Structure 1
Amino acid sequence: MSDGSLVVVATIEAAEGNEEKVEQALRNAVRAVHAEPGCLRYALHRDAANPRTFVMVEKWASADALRTHSKAPALAELGKTLKGLLTKPLDVRTLAALPDGEDGQGAI
């Protein structure tokens, strides 16, 4: 049974030559978003096979917390900073956990 939290996986693909700018923008967002209410996880990753692809794995305490995040200054600033630096729009997926197996291993 889900605890009401939501997991978000956002995939971001930097245009060639913009990898470092995109990474820095995402790192700045991480520090700001960690202070947002309901943020349980906001973790940046880079695709090991394609260094232009970044993946943000997020966990929010509730749908309300995620809605608040979507309107927060950090995300607005990130959107402005990333403008023109990506090959395509972000691919953002919101997931509801289906925990199973061992406690702590079957869900993020």
Structure 2
Amino acid sequence: MSQPVQLVILITTLPGRGGEQIAAFERLAPLVRAEAGCLQYDLHQVSGEPERFVLIERWASKAALAAHDVTPHMIEADAASPAFRAGPAEVVELVAAPVA
């Protein structure tokens, strides 16, 4: 059985461009959340830092995440994001910590 995938994506926008990140997410979120296998897709702004964001994604499987990455809306979003982002997003995949 396939294991769920949880990602934390760290995003920094160019100075004064945080609103563009929020607007892009608002357009994209309904499309992503409707995808098969999407369990969570939520953007959070870092408190007191209007250019820093954390995107939390959870997917039912690696296959669902792979399918998400090649959807037309994600390809379009990835192409548009350099206009307001300070650099590439940092993607961190989480795994459960071993319990002794």
Q: Higher helix fraction: Structure 1 or Structure 2?
A: 2
Show CA shifts across 1:34-89 (max 9, x none): 01110000011100131111111010000100111111122112112212211111
Instruction: Measure how far apart 1:99 and its partner are.
Output: 8.2
TM-score (norm 1): 0.82
Paired residue for 1:12?
A: 11
Aligned to 2:25: 26
Comparing 67-76 and 55-64, the one that deviates more: 67-76
How many residue pairs match? The answer is: 98
CA distance in 1: counterparts of 2:45 and 2:73, whole angstroms? 20
Q: What percentage of residue pairs aligned between the two structures are identical?
A: 31
C-alpha separation in 1, matches of 2:71 and 2:97: 28
Tell me the equivalent position of 1:54.
53
Q: Gaps spanning 5+ residues in structure 2: where?
A: none
Name the CA distance, whole Å, in 1 between partners of 2:7 and 2:67: 14
Task: Flag structure 1 segments of 5+ consecutive residues without an equivalent.
Answer: 101-108
Counterpart in the other structure of 2:42: 43
Say yes or no: does 1:90 pair with 2:89. yes
* SS of alignment partner, residue 11 of structure 2: strand
Q: Match of 1:58, SS? A: strand
> 2:26 is matched by which residue type in structure 1?
R
Q: Distance in 2 between matches of 1:49 and 1:17?
A: 13
